[in-house]
A and B are shown apart, each in its own frame.
Chain A
Amino acid sequence: MENLPRIVAVLLDGVPETVIAAAGGILLTILLAFSAGLALLSEHRLLRAISRTYVEFFRGTSEVVQLFWIYFVLPVLVGIQLLPLFAGVVVLGLNHGAYGAEIVRGAVSSVPKAQVEGAKALSFSPRDIRWRVVMPQAVLEMLPSFNNLFIQLLKSTAILSFIVVSEVTERGVQVLVPNFGDDIVLIFVLMLLIYLVLAVLITAVMRWLERIGARRLGRRPSASARTAAVAAAH
């Protein structure tokens, strides 16, 4: 236990890299999820095909192997060497963007057809129908699924330890375990706790967005959001 302060300090040292990787990954995920998700719903076959290929490829192959490709194979093939953290953000974004595309597609197609017809009956342009009627309703529908996805992404940042980004897992496994082998239980408990705290933060932000969205629809927040708020208050 006398090593606790030093162990904590080393792990916290890795938090910024973990947070940057997660935040960058989330931004790229959102960008790719919306582009690919809307492309999946496009009238153009080619666009749909490209998007479908992207989604299936990144969902169907290992994230770790993708990371090795981008970090180790790409330099050999085309001579581009990415910074480790940047390579990590790219892989996290590409991967979770593929899952996110399905979330976006599902939410947009779950908006009742009657909404589109109501808008057509008012002669809205296709563009206004999408961005003023369908998307605002769909985005609200997406929030809980994106919450899950972002938490998964956060946990996936641990793979960056394979390319020696000094994030939380790398700090623990590469730095602490060799030096404080007797405290191995403590080290890994603390690592779990750090990820847990970050995940709770993500959930808090997403719930807040859900509440704002629900208010915009004149609805009370969903039952689960309310229970969580009550639980958090106690």
Chain B
Amino acid sequence: MQPSEPMIVFEGVEKRFGDHVVLSDLDMTVAPGEHVTLIGPSGSGKTTILRLLMCLEKVDAGTIRVGGRYLTHMEKNGGLVPADERYSREVRKRIGMVFQQFNLFPNMTVRRNLTEAPTRVLGLSKDEANARAEELLDLVGLGDKIDAHPTQLSGGQQQRVAIARALAMRPDVLLLDEVTSALDPELVAGVLSLLQDIGKSTDITILCVTHEMGFAQDFSHRVMMFDGGRIIEDAPPEELFGAPRHERTRTFLQAVSG
């Protein structure tokens, strides 16, 4: 990967569910280490973008590149063919995702939630994986919960574990999909400040969907406003929140700020 090369590139991406076009001809670029927040009304396709990056959905047209490598396609005989499962998995190792509903594995302790993928997917030794898990749990403030089961934790604690689990893979790219939406109000601030810390102390590229506009303003280098499957405004947070250019952005921001 060239130093100047973007971390994420969407080129002419289209995504349909049946007749319903969710994303059309989407171009988007994210630089290494950049924090980009996606905002927009419900159903505008924000989650779909993250799911495409995680290969949980397939593109209908266009290409996605991550760290200079195609995610959606692989090169074969000089041409591009749709990627197979094995190839996608290889590129996807560099991407981590945190979900709204945590998605921790209830059949594993917190420790195993954090060590299973590093050992089985990255080939770390048990000791290495354990050391990494302990370090990350300390970082998210749950060092004492390493032998607990996810069901024994509060929502906020589960989400911290889920963040640690994603970080245990040492991803280049982290995808955050409304990670505080399922939390009780009093737990939201703690998780958001943890994300701020992670944003400051690492050079991970972060793509984030959130309805917490205050957080988006502090956290992001750039904010993209989505509507109808397109980016209608793409600007630094001061601009986008301070002086939105589009009528649609203005009404949306008014609506979410109540």
Contact = CB atoms under 8 A, between A and B. Distances in A.
Interface stretch (A18-26, A129-137, A163-171): A129-137
Interface stretch (B23-31, B114-122, B185-193): B114-122
Contacts of A137: 106-107
B230 interface: no
A128 B89 CA distance: 13
B146 to A, nearest CB: 13
Interface residues of A, number: 22
A219 B151 contact: yes
Contacts of B133: none
Contacts of B117: 122-124
Interface in B91-136: 92-93, 95-97, 99, 101, 103-107, 109, 116-117, 120-121
Given A122-B165, A124-B120, A124-B121, A117 B103 contact: yes
A117 B99 contact: yes
A110 to B, nearest CB: 13
A119 interface: yes
A117 B53 CA distance: 13
Contact of A122 (B55, B150, B169): B169
A75 B85 CA distance: 49
B54 A136 contact: no
Interface string A108-129: 0000001101111111111010
A103 to B, nearest CB: 19
Contacts of A120: 54-56, 92
A94 B151 CA distance: 38
B166 interface: yes
Contacts of B103: 114-115, 117-118, 121
B101 A121 contact: no
Nearest to B91: A123
A43 to B, nearest CB: 11
Contacts of B65: none
A226 interface: no
A218 B147 CA distance: 10
A219 B153 CA distance: 12
A133 B169 contact: no
B152 A123 contact: no
A216 B56 contact: no
B139 interface: no
Given A114-B101, A132-B116, A218-B149, A123 B93 contact: yes
A65 interface: no
A191 to B, nearest CB: 42
A153 B232 CA distance: 64
A115 B85 CA distance: 18
Contacts of B80: none
A162 B99 CA distance: 58
Contacts of A27: none
25 contacts: A114-B101, A117-B99, A118-B99, A120-B56, A121-B96, A121-B97, A122-B116, A122-B169, A123-B92, A123-B93, A123-B121, A123-B169, A124-B120, A125-B89, A128-B120, A132-B120, A133-B105, A137-B107, A140-B107, A216-B107, A217-B107, A218-B106, A218-B151, A218-B152, A219-B149
Given A115-B105, A121-B95, A218-B109, 17 more contacts: A117-B56, A118-B104, A120-B55, A121-B96, A122-B165, A122-B166, A123-B89, A124-B116, A124-B121, A125-B89, A128-B120, A217-B107, A217-B151, A218-B151, A218-B152, A219-B149, A219-B151
Interface of A: 114-115, 117-126, 128, 132-133, 136-137, 140, 216-219
Interface of B: 54-56, 85, 89, 92-93, 95-97, 99, 101, 103-107, 109, 116-117, 120-121, 148-152, 165-166, 169
